[in-house]
Amino acid sequence: MGPVGNEIKEGEYVLLYLDQRRKWLVKVSGGKEFHTHKGAIRLEDLIGRPYGCSISSSLGERFLALRPTLYDFIMKAERPTQIMYPKDIGLELLILGVGPGKRVIEIGTGSGSLTMALANAVRPDGMVFTYEARREFLEAAKRNLSRAGLLDYVTFHEADARAGLEERDVDAVAIDIGDPWEVIPLAEEALVGGGRIAIFCPTINQAERAVASLAKGMFADVEAYECLLREILVRPGKTRPSTRMIGHTGYLVFARRVLERGAPPPDR
């Protein structure tokens, strides 16, 4: 038996691990089987067993039943849109200063990958207010957040944020839409003094225009970054970088809300 609280319960999710390339996020339910090319797995046989145990399929293949992390929920999310990747999400969370009790506006819910990370960071007594104009995206995001157990920390607005934001005095605003400059003035109104804004821009032209818009408003400490992540294949005597990687995903633009004009320009 594993430690108290480490047993797999009915209704929980497990990460079924066959090898580094083949992993599945599966809900454990009595009477259900999960079918793979390596045979079927009786999910009810996992109930009461500790996370980290192994289980054999009908073809005798051994799978590991691992406790999924937020990373797994994000990477295995339902994706009607492109997701924001963990390499970008991590930097956003740190620079935005998102933590327990914070109130955050997200403009552009999409599939909800960033929403999940924000909700996980602000709990137990914070809130994420997310705006998405397309219902099908919002519904997919809700399903992803429900699967991760994070619905209670998100308020969903099925609305075009360009029509206005309901919240005021929020600690941070995260923007991921094609024309972020159109909502930067609205984010300025919603942010508390000293609050931070993050803008995800797929192209350099969008980043340039976003920075120009920030320069016209009450913002300072403007920064822009690109995050690159490369896997290393560690093998005795032949360690090398992977031939594949998630290269460019987007540019991240950050700034702080100020209460006075005349702040030093971003290119000083």
CATH number of the domain within which 130 lies: 3.40.50.150
Same domain, 17 and 131: no
Strand (E) or helix (H) holding 30? none
Same domain, 94 and 209: yes
Please check whether residue 6 lies inside any domain of the structure. Answer: no
The two tokens of residue 27 are: 């809900």
Please check whether residue 8 lies inside any domain of the structure. Answer: no
Q: Mean pLDDT over residues 33-37, rounded? A: 93
Same domain, 86 and 42: no
Same domain, 215 and 141: yes
Q: Mean pLDDT over residues 234-247, rounded? A: 90
Same domain, 86 and 198: yes
Same domain, 62 and 78: no
Domain end: 45, 68, 91, which one?
Answer: 68
The pLDDT tens digits of the residues spanning 110-122 come to 999 999 999 999 9
Rounded to whole angstroms, what are the CA distances from 15 to 52, 54, 64, 70, 265?
10, 11, 8, 11, 48
Of all residues in the chain, what percent are helix, strand and coil, respectively (each to 5)? Answer: 25, 30, 40
Please check whether residue 169 lies inside any domain of the structure. Answer: yes
Please check whether residue 119 lies inside any domain of the structure. Answer: yes
The pLDDT tens digits of the residues spanning 201-239 come to 999 999 999 999 999 999 999 999 999 999 999 999 999
Query: What's the CATH code of the domain at 35?
Result: 3.10.330.20
Same domain, 86 and 188: yes
Rounded to whole angstroms, what are the CA distances from 84 to 36, 91, 113, 206, 237?
28, 12, 6, 16, 35
Count of the separate structural domains present in the chain: 2
Question: Would you call 145 helix, strand, or coil by DSSP?
Answer: helix
Q: Where in the sequence is the domain holding 33, given as residue range(s)?
A: 13-68
Q: Mean pLDDT over residues 35-54, rounded? A: 95
Please check whether residue 88 lies inside any domain of the structure. Answer: yes
Q: To 5 degrees, how large is the angle CA 188–CA 161–CA 149?
A: 100
Same domain, 83 and 171: yes
Contact 222, 201 (CB under 8 A): no
The band of 138, judged by pLDDT with boundaries at 50, 70 and 90, is: very high
Same domain, 115 and 61: no
Same domain, 173 and 59: no
Q: What is the pTM (predicted TM-score) of this model?
A: 0.90
* Residue 198 in this model has a pLDDT that exceeds 70: yes
Q: Tell me which residue has tokens 């295995």.
A: 76
Same domain, 136 and 28: no
Please check whether residue 222 lies inside any domain of the structure. Answer: yes
Domain end: 68, 94, 111, which one?
Answer: 68
Please check whether residue 262 lies inside any domain of the structure. Answer: no
Please check whether residue 52 lies inside any domain of the structure. Answer: yes
Domain end: 28, 52, 68, which one?
Answer: 68
Same domain, 121 and 200: yes
Q: Which of 21, 19, 16, 41 is nearest to 31 (CA)?
A: 41
Q: What's the confidence (pLDDT) of residue 9?
A: 95
Return d(Cα 257, Cα 172) in angstroms, integer.
Answer: 9
* Residue 266 in this model has a pLDDT that exceeds 60: no
Reported for 183-190, long-range contacts at CB under 8 A and 24+ positions apart, including other chains, are 183/107, 184/210, 184/213, 184/214, 184/217, 185/213, 185/217, 186/161, 186/162, 187/105, 187/107, 188/217, 188/218, 188/219, 188/257, 189/165, 190/105, 190/165
